[in-house]
Amino acid sequence: MKKNNEGYALLVSMIALVLLTTITGLMALSAGGDMKRSNNARTEMQSHYVAEVGLEKALIWFRNSYGLLGNALVNTAPGTPPTVTDPAGNTYTVPVSLTNGSPVVLNTTGIGSATTHPASYTNSQGEAEANMTTSFSASLANQAVPMGTQGNGTYAVMATLVGYAPERWRIDSVGTFSGRRKAVSVFLEKLPLTPFVHAAYTSASPVDLTGNQTIDGQDHDLDGDVIGGIGMPGVSVTDTNPLPEVSGSGEIKSNVSGSTVTIDHDTTYPDPLPADYPVNNDIDPDDYPDSPAAALGLDPAVYQPYLDGMKQTSVPCHISGLVVLDLNFPTGSAPGGCDYSGDGILVLHNPRYSPRYFDPLDPLYTSGTSPISGQTAAQYRADTLNQPRYFNYNANNTFKGIIIADSIGEIGPGISGSAAILGAIISLDRVNGAIGTGNASIGYSSIAVSNAVNSVPYTKQRGTFRQLLND
């Protein structure tokens, strides 16, 4: 009986040992599988991150290095839209091609459609470009991304032109880390700007000159010299406003009639006013923009939040590209060697401000409502947080481009000193009479306006994410 019990105990022990070994093995296998899945997920996330870095680097490259092909090199309505293969092996057609029918492609990924973009060419501004494909490759082919103690990932980028006017690119970035690859796509576009420039100075409210100021609608080059061709009116306002008053030695000029006509303090406006006169007040208030986005010809619902998101917290010493400020432009002497000159598009706007609700002199003034939730109309107008932003350019320098401001000179000296502005000014509300004093000048320049539009950086629209097959 004792031997039988010992045999039974041994059998039970062996069965228990087998079960324990099996369970332990299954747990080890499960843990190993979990660890592998965890590692794979981590590697996939890291390759995704590396691909995202490639997108950002591509955006920087386009902003700093690229000049769009001149229109003589492209076909914006090809009879047979060319087909493009992306790095994931997917195909799609594009509505623009080179004149030989090929898609416009820059590709450093080694997969998908090959590079067809010319290396050297004349860009859309008539300027010569050289070594563009080399520059793209040097910046965006198999570039390392440090991943700490885990080593480096790499990215490579493909860019395909999918729109010409406005310019639009599809960017595919392939990120590689630990043998796994992931592709991320995004669309870059140049904002389709059509600025509301009706004159050298376009305003929703009266424009008066004092001192020795000059507003000249004749077309100027970037040195301030008048060039051939018909320019714009000197001043254009809405049809609810009076024509400009000129006092002192101020002048308003234009050659829209074919010859230069000058208005000064002795001028009596003809009645009726000729259509080609240096000043006019024929803009329909319903058509006048009430936001910077609208003043740039953009849909405010789509693009004003984008512009508001670009705002800077201090005034740069030198303006370049698109500069958006929720600030009053400074008055007085510039500190620290700042000259506040430059070129591009300068926007001075308070996102909480709307001339339609704030300014009783605005032709479309709405007295009974408020655009700010929780504020009555009276509270909105009394709240200092809703004040417009003012452009005051008390300087002896030159700005070349487009200025869009909530108001010009209502607080401070306005445009004064010997400041020179080449391009165009758009004021969203009243200017409270005189726009400034001194010897300041505003001269229309189609070149400065065009350069300002082209200086606006590429913007990014999120596309879709696709994971490529593992190597």
Show the tokens assigned to 220.
């100027």
pLDDT in tens, 180-199: 899 989 999 888 899 999 99
Please check whether residue 160 lies inside any domain of the structure.
yes
User: What are the CA-CA distances from residue 56 to residues 51, 263, 310, 396, 466 (Å)?
Assistant: 9, 51, 17, 38, 17
How much is the pLDDT for 331?
57
Cα 26 from Cα 37, distance rounded (Å): 16
How much is the pLDDT for 86?
94
Residues 308 and 336 placed together within one structural domain of the fold: yes
Cα 183 from Cα 88, distance rounded (Å): 7
Residues 209 and 250 placed together within one structural domain of the fold: yes
What is the phi-psi region of residue 61: left when phi exceeds 0, alpha when psi lies from -120 to 50, beta otherwise?
Answer: alpha
Residues 359 and 430 placed together within one structural domain of the fold: yes
Buried b (16+ CB within 10 A) or exposed e, 442-461: bbbbbbbbebbbbebbbbbe
Residues 268 and 412 placed together within one structural domain of the fold: yes
Residues 183 and 256 placed together within one structural domain of the fold: no
Residues of the chain where predicted confidence (pLDDT) is lower than 70: 1-12, 16, 18, 22-41, 331-337, 409-413, 430-434, 461-471
Residues 271 and 344 placed together within one structural domain of the fold: yes
Residue 467 near residue 182 (C-beta atoms within 8 A): yes
Phi then psi dihedrals of residue 170, to 5 deg: -100, 125
Model pTM? 0.74
* Segments forming the whole domain that contains residue 295: 201-454
Please check whether residue 48 lies inside any domain of the structure.
no
How much is the pLDDT for 258?
87
Please check whether residue 367 lies inside any domain of the structure.
yes
Please check whether residue 6 lies inside any domain of the structure.
no
Determine whether 337 is exposed, middle or buried from the number of CB atoms within 10 Å of its CB (0-12, 13-18, 19+).
exposed
How many structural domains is the chain composed of? 2
Residues 368 and 247 placed together within one structural domain of the fold: yes
Q: Which residue has the tokens 């043998």?
A: 179
Give the Cα-Cα-Cα angle 189, 194, 195 (nearest 5 degrees). Answer: 120
Residues 139 and 236 placed together within one structural domain of the fold: no
Residues 181 and 213 placed together within one structural domain of the fold: no
Please check whether residue 32 lies inside any domain of the structure.
no
Residue 439 CA, chain-centre distance (Å), reads: 33
Please check whether residue 13 lies inside any domain of the structure.
no
What string of DSSP letters covers 51-98? HHHHHHHHHHHHHHH--PBPGGGEESS-SSPPEEE-TTS-EEE-S-EE
Residues 282 and 296 placed together within one structural domain of the fold: yes
Q: What is the CA radius of gyration of the chain?
A: 32
Show the tokens assigned to 370.
């408020």
Residues 349 and 420 placed together within one structural domain of the fold: yes
How much is the pLDDT for 28?
58
Q: Which residue has the tokens 């459609």?
A: 113
Cα 299 from Cα 28, distance rounded (Å): 60
Q: Which residue has the tokens 């998101």?
A: 309
Residues 341 and 233 placed together within one structural domain of the fold: yes
> Strand pairing partners for 152?
146
Buried b (16+ CB within 10 A) or exposed e, 292-314: bbbbbbbebeebbeebbeebeee
Please check whether residue 376 lies inside any domain of the structure.
yes
Show the tokens assigned to 423.
């391009």
Cα 289 from Cα 238, distance rounded (Å): 11
Show the tokens assigned to 403.
């200025």
User: What are the CA-CA distances from residue 106 to residues 387, 460, 470 (Å)?
Assistant: 47, 18, 24
How much is the pLDDT for 91?
95
Please check whether residue 45 lies inside any domain of the structure.
no
How much is the pLDDT for 41?
65
